[in-house]
Amino acid sequence: MTTTTLKLNLGPQHPSTHGVLRLILELDGEKILSCEPDIGYLHRGMEKMAEQMSYIQYLPTVDRVDYLAGFFYSELLCRIVEGALCVELPEKVRVIRVMLLELNRMASHILWIGMFLMDLGATSPFFYTFREREMILRYFERISGQRMMYNYFVFGGVRRDINFLEDVEEILSILPSKLDDYEKLIEENPIFIKRVVNKGVLEKETALNYAITGVNLRASGVDYDYRKQDYLYKGFDIGKVILREKDSMARYRARILEIKESMKIVRQALDYLKKSSPLEQKLVNPINLKLPEGDYYADIEAPRGIASCFVRSTGEKEPYRLKWRTGSYYSVNLLRKLLVGEYLNDAIAIAGSLDIILPEVDK
């Protein structure tokens, strides 16, 4: 009897590929022999687009690079422009940005918990996480007018003064008890533990070699958080989240802990903002904005790893070249290694644990 392997197209129309990822799997029974990710189903040409747009035209579109964490990408572009023009941000703008970024990170991680559990086959936590995320999104909507594409950060400041701080207070008071609920529902569940502990072990060296950053790297035991050297976070007390287990469970735990750390940062920002005086900021005039000739580079610790933006300007209104670095792009590449030798239903769980968001991959 001869046996052959089976080629399986996982996606792009598949409920658990988070949109439009396509994995070409070679299977022996249910065991994966090789995995070839195929991306580009959501490609919008963000980089090409930038070359034909002025900076202020481009600013509203960058929220779409990662629609679950839009603030991070508009912050990156603002940072590029501010860095190029040597704009000093007022203290309050800095704090507002930190608070919104951290709230956004919380929203993104909370959504991930639901998605991950959905991949594992538990449907209820998905709805619970949406309920919690809704509070944060509603706050974003109140301050920026939009739930996902905020367009709230502008060059040199924020679009308008921060408001509705009591909403943030409410989020901070409700969320810890909800997180405890998740712990009860999820972490004490033997089936969940069986499916994540020692599954998808990502060694430190592999993670670094595959340029994995952010939470996934910290869950593999590398003490590296870009926020510590970020000027935006100056004066904030940022807790360490480092886990040594390296498996899917560690990545789950790391995100839960990260949400808790983010809450502490938001609390610090909130205390500052409550006492602060009305916002005074000097915005960059976006009309005819030209960056001086040269290369500009900015990094930020986004929810899915380090995001960075590179701009080469030739002194024109449009950037000569703009390049995004996104965390998910490298996580997808990692699947090629991490899924080999796993079984199909573990593979879904492992891919889910890396938190891959396709708009970020395709850009």
Partner 1 sequence: MNYLYFLYIEFLQKYNIPKLFGDITYYFIPFCIIAAALLVIVLALVLVERKLLGFFTQRKGPNRVGWWGLLQTLADAFKLLCKENITPDKADRFLFNLAPILVFVPMFAALGIIPYSSEFTFVNTSTNVILYLILAAFPVLSIFLAGWASNNKYSLFGAARSIAQVLSYELPMTFVILSSVVLASSMNLTGITLAQTSKFWFLGWFIFPNILGFIILFICILAELNRCPFDLPEAESELICGYNTEYSGMRFAIFYLSEYAMLFANSMFISILFLGGYLSPFGKYLFGSSFLIYFEQAFWLFLKASILVFIMIWIRATLPRLASFDLLKFSWVYLLPLSILNLFIVVMIKFAGGG
Partner 2 sequence: MDWDKFNKIFEGCELLGNKIHIKSRLHEVIQFVIENYPYDILKEIIAIHNQDGTVELVYHLYSTVDEEDLMISICVNDETDSIVDIFKSAEADEKEIFDLFGIKFKGHDNLKRLYMPENWDGHPLRKDYIQDDTRLCWNDDNDS
> Binding of partner 2 at residue 358 (CB under 8 A)?
no
Nearer to partner 1, 147 or 178 (CB): 178
Site string for partner 2, 267-306 (x = CB under 8 A): ----------------------------x----------x
Q: If DSSP codes are grouped into helix, strand and coil, which group holds residue 184? A: helix
Residue 217 near residue 257 (C-beta atoms within 8 A): no
Residue 155 near residue 87 (C-beta atoms within 8 A): yes
State both tokens at 189. Answer: 């569940």
Which residue from 122, 197, 211, 340 is in contact with partner 1, where contact means CB under 8 A? 122
Burial 334-363 (b: 16+ CB within 10 A, else e): bbeebbeebeeebbbbbbbbbbbbbbbbbb
Planar angle of CA 266, 272, 275, nearest 5 degrees: 135
Which residue from 72, 73, 155, 192 is in contact with partner 1, where contact means CB under 8 A? 192
Min dist CB 357 to partner 1, Å, is 16
Report how far Cα 212 is from the mean position of its chain's Cα atoms.
Answer: 13
**Subset of 124-153 contacting partner 1 (CB under 8 A):** 124, 126-128, 131
Min dist CB 24 to partner 1, Å, is 12
Min dist CB 283 to partner 1, Å, is 42
What phi and psi, each to the nearest 5 degrees, are found at residue 205? -65, -40
Min dist CB 30 to partner 1, Å, is 7
> Binding of partner 1 at residue 52 (CB under 8 A)?
no
Q: Please choose, out of 71-79, 103-111, 184-192, 330-338, the segment that lies near partner 2 by the rule CB under 8 A.
A: 330-338
Name residue, tokens 């970024």. Answer: 101
Return the closest-CA partner of residue 315 out of 296, 295, 292, 297: 292
Give dist(CA 29, CA 121) in Å, integer: 21
Which residue from 45, 121, 292, 341 is in contact with partner 1, where contact means CB under 8 A? 121
Min dist CB 311 to partner 2, Å, is 10
Q: Please choose, out of 44-52, 79-87, 185-193, 295-303, the segment that lies near partner 1 by the rule CB under 8 A.
A: 185-193
Q: If DSSP codes are grouped into helix, strand and coil, which group holds residue 325? A: strand
Nearer to partner 1, 57 or 189 (CB): 189
Give dist(CA 80, CA 77) in Å, integer: 5
Give dist(CA 235, CA 53) in Å, integer: 36
User: Terminal CA-to-CA distance of the chain, rounded, Å?
Assistant: 47
Site string for partner 2, 309-328 (x = CB under 8 A): -x-x-------xx-x-x---
Min dist CB 288 to partner 2, Å, is 23
What phi and psi, each to the nearest 5 degrees, are found at residue 184? -65, -45
Positions touching partner 1 (CB under 8 A) are 6, 8, 14-16, 30, 117-124, 126-128, 131, 185, 189, 191-192, 194-195, 343-346, 348
Positions touching partner 2 (CB under 8 A) are 39-40, 43, 45, 47-48, 206, 208-211, 213, 217, 222-224, 228-229, 295, 306, 308, 310, 312, 320-321, 323, 325, 329-330, 332-333, 336-337, 362
